Structure 1
Amino acid sequence: MPYFTTSDGTEIYYTDQGTGKPVILSHGWPLSSDAWQVEVKLLADNGYRAIAHDRRGHGRSAKTYTGNDMDTYARDLAELIESLDLNDLAVIGHSTGGGEVVRYAAQHGAGRVTKVITAGAVPPLMLQTAANPDGLPIEVFDGIRAGVLSDSSQFYIELTEAFFGANRPGSAVSEGAKREFWRQGMLVNLAAAYDCVTAFSETDFTEDLRALDVPIFIAHGDDDQIVPIKDAALKSIELVRHGTLKVYPGAPHGISGAYQAELDQDILAFLAT
């Protein structure tokens, strides 16, 4: 299994499949690169080099106590990309990973990144503040932290209901998909899982979105119960210069089923333009 060591000595796991133009995929919290397995194969099958990493503290990467913040995540990604000497690069991020790739592209990706894709992404800012009154109150994120600390295993099991929209009438998400979320969640280091809540909820990506000078495809389900579309994609599209927004009716936060099938075809179409 390939590993890369960052400048602060953190081992980052990644998978690298296929040949052609490179595409980096960044996962959501508290998951790992395994969340992108279908897309990695799809991209490789369609002539791309697909690379997906486990964020520090997550999956098979080092179980870090420090550096669990968005600036460090973006720096880790930049160092991985530089080590692989990737150019003419597309970056794709889901949820927290959407924030990571937006910050990377805006602050580190000049001359390398040509396209950005986000799905259910956290930018521009999730937390309710005086300047962002439509955001979610801090109590929501305090509840997540409390759940992670008190019984992370049970918390991740329960989180799958809202994550995949399994609590909605007619939901077709499988028990296997929910168990896979739990399996990946149980690999994350507790300190990393706890600190990442602050990273994904309190990081303000407004200026990163404004700084992007490459095309960005913003995908979001209108029934996303984790990252509400009104606080995220509908605001992000107003901040970027070369943005395309697609809203997926009835789609949840988790990428699965019919939503995944449609999104994957949209990803291929956007990359081909």
Structure 2
Amino acid sequence: MSVFTTADGTRIFYKDWGQGQPIVFSHGWPLTADAWDGQMDFFGRQGFRVIAHDRRSHGRSDQTWDGNDMDSYADDLAALIDMLDLRDAVLVGHSTGGGEVARYVGRHGTARVAKVVLVGAVPPLMLKTKENPGCSSFRDG
């Protein structure tokens, strides 16, 4: 079983199959990395390296009381990407995983990212409002 440990001591389970350009899959709530097995099998057979993790408090990862928020999810994803030294990665997120991927880009940038795919995503608030004045949105809320 492949596991890495985050800065706060949380153990995160992940799958890492194949070789080639990496595709990193982030699952929705309350799923696990297993939700992506079909896509991972397909893209792995097409010559990609495919990676998926069980988000903290999901599946085989540690069940944590704290850190179940988008910032922690994004930081966990960054720790996985850094630990595996991924470059030119395609990040795919579904539902909560889409928010995780969007927050990753906002917090950690795109230096290791080639593309982002959001599938039925629940992204962080991306509208400029009184409560979110720093957002550069298409319109003022």
Q: How does 1:145-184 map to 2 (within 5 A)?
A: none
Q: Higher relative CO (CA 8 A, sep ≥ 6), structure 1 or 2?
A: 2
Tell which structure's C-alpha radius of gyration is larger: 1
Q: 2: distance between equivalents of 1:124 and 1:69? A: 10
Q: 2: distance between equivalents of 1:15 and 1:47? A: 16
User: Do the aligned residues in 2 keep the contact of 1:91 with 1:101 (CA within 8 Å)?
Assistant: yes
Query: Which residue is 1:119 aligned to?
Result: 119
Higher share in strand = 2
User: Matched residues, percent identical?
Assistant: 57
Query: Which residue is 2:86 aligned to?
Result: 86
Amino acid at match of 1:45: R
Q: Deviations over 1:108-166 (max 9, x none)?
A: 1331011000110012549xxxx5xxxxxxxxxxxxxxxxxxxxxxxxxxxxxxxxxxx
Q: 2: distance between equivalents of 1:125 and 1:79? A: 23
Higher share in helix = 1
Q: How does 1:1-273 map to 2 (within 5 A)?
A: 1-125=1-125, 131=129, 207=135
Over 3 Å counting, the alpha-carbon distance change for 1:14 and 1:46 in structure 2 is same
Q: 1: distance between equivalents of 2:27 and 2:122? A: 12
Q: 2: distance between equivalents of 1:118 and 1:47? A: 22
Q: Aligned Cα RMSD in Å?
A: 2.2
User: Do the aligned residues in 1 keep the contact of 2:15 with 2:51 (CA within 8 Å)?
Assistant: yes
| Structure 1 spans left out of the alignment, 5+ residues | 132-203, 211-235, 240-273
Instruction: Give SS of 1:59's match.
Output: coil
Q: Deviations over 1:148-195 (max 9, x none)?
A: xxxxxxxxxxxxxxxxxxxxxxxxxxxxxxxxxxxxxxxxxxxxxxxx
Amino acid at match of 2:89: L
Q: 1: distance between equivalents of 2:29 and 2:70? A: 12
TM-score by length of 1: 0.46
Q: 2: distance between equivalents of 1:22 and 1:109? A: 17
User: Do the aligned residues in 2 keep the contact of 1:93 with 1:121 (CA within 8 Å)?
Assistant: yes
Q: 2: distance between equivalents of 1:59 and 1:124? A: 23
TM-score by length of 2: 0.88
Q: 1: distance between equivalents of 2:41 and 2:122? A: 25
Q: Which runs of 4+ in 1 moved over 3 A?
A: none
Amino acid at match of 2:25: L
Pairwise CA distance, 1:40:
0.8
Amino acid at match of 1:17: W
User: Do the aligned residues in 2 keep the contact of 1:92 with 1:117 (CA within 8 Å)?
Assistant: yes
User: Do the aligned residues in 2 keep the contact of 1:78 with 1:109 (CA within 8 Å)?
Assistant: no
| Structure 2 spans left out of the alignment, 5+ residues | none
Q: 1: distance between equivalents of 2:44 and 2:63? A: 29
